[in-house]
Amino acid sequence: MGRSRSAQVRHGNNHIAVQEQETDSPLLPIAHLEALHRIAPERVDWVFEQTQTEGEFRRAETRRVNTLVFAERLLSMFSGLAIGLAALGIAGYLALHGSQWVAGVIGGTTVVGLVTVFVVGNRARNTAADPP
């Protein structure tokens, strides 16, 4: 979506106008392209080439960011799984060798901690995705 603002000032015979246009589209508005064609016709093709280059860059950047976010989430899940399995393995080892209380504390806090991290992390991610 775009926003457009303009201001004009008149003082006697003097007149000044300022216009600002903000857009998320990579292509200039048609009126601007027509004005550019009247001033410098060879630059219109350049604008289209630059727009194509910018679009390709944006798509590549989006793909790269999405890939890295996916890899980060997978790594986080596998790390949580490895930590959980290691802690539960240690708790099982300690329980078999006579330290049931310590094993219970380690196993219990591990499970509670991992569940809390995944639930709170999922809730925070869903809250951040909701528009205001």
pLDDT-derived band at 37 (thresholds 50, 70, 90) equals confident
Q: Does the predicted TM-score (pTM) go above 0.75?
A: no
Kindly state whether residue 41 falls inside one of the protein's structural domains: yes
Name the residue range of residue 75's domain.
Answer: 28-129
Find the length of the chain.
132
Total domains, the chain: 1
Q: Which tens digits make up the pLDDT trace of 90-102?
A: 888 988 888 888 8
Residue 36 contacts residue 44 (beta carbons within 8 Å): yes
Mean pLDDT over 22-35 rounds to 76
Q: What is the pLDDT of residue 71?
A: 94
Q: What is the pLDDT of residue 124?
A: 65
Flag whether 59 is in a domain: yes
Q: Are strands 14-22 and 3-11 parallel, antiparallel or unpaired?
A: antiparallel
Are the beta carbons of 59 and 78 closer than 8 angstroms?
no
Confidence of residue 122 (pLDDT cuts 50, 70, 90): low
Is residue 64 domain-resident? yes
Does 89 reside within a domain?
Answer: yes
